[in-house]
Structure 1
Amino acid sequence: MQTKNPIFDDLAELMTGAAGVVASAGEEVKAVARSKMDRLVADMDLVSREEFELVKDMAAKALAENQVLRQQIAALKPAQAKKPKARKSTKTSGVK
């Protein structure tokens, strides 16, 4: 046989309410912390992931183009070495 004790009922109700308050307070702390972090990041003027990826792709393309240009220059150097150098003009004007 179980007896109903109002003290235990009140205590259980109080604990349930306290758990709800603690959970709400925890969510509030998370929201405030997230807000402060967002503000801190905004003040630091950091780039977004999208901007970072865009610049990363641009740098990779520039590096590839640079490699192609180096190869083209290397291919042109032997051809230039075979050409005779242009002579400088030794003519002088009659004005002194």
Structure 2
Amino acid sequence: MEQSRTVSPQALVSFAGNFYSVPPGLAGAQVTVRTRLGEHILHVITAGRAIVAQHHRAPDGAGSRRYQQLRGEATCPTSNSTTPPRLCPASWTRPEPSG
């Protein structure tokens, strides 16, 4: 399944009741969101057919926001600021900012 979407000013693309991040330079751009039946991966593709983001899909209608780094690897914050971030499990979702 492929659907056209416009990237929000916050560099998010909506799909099936959830939001997925893309590189910030794409705000306002038209992209295609592609999923395949039986797969739990969502691809965001530019007009030039470049895949700019991949995400594990959240359940439809969950209102989830899925974030990733520009290279396609989500990082989790660490409790110690001197420790570099570590790769997150695919199910990790960045918490909503408070206040």
TM over 0.5, shorter chain: no
| Structure with higher RCO (Cα < 8 A, 6+ apart) | 2
Higher helix share: 1
Higher strand share: 2
TM-score, with normalisation over the residues of structure 2?
0.17
For the pair shown, the structure with the greater C-alpha radius of gyration is: 1
TM-score, with normalisation over the residues of structure 1?
0.18
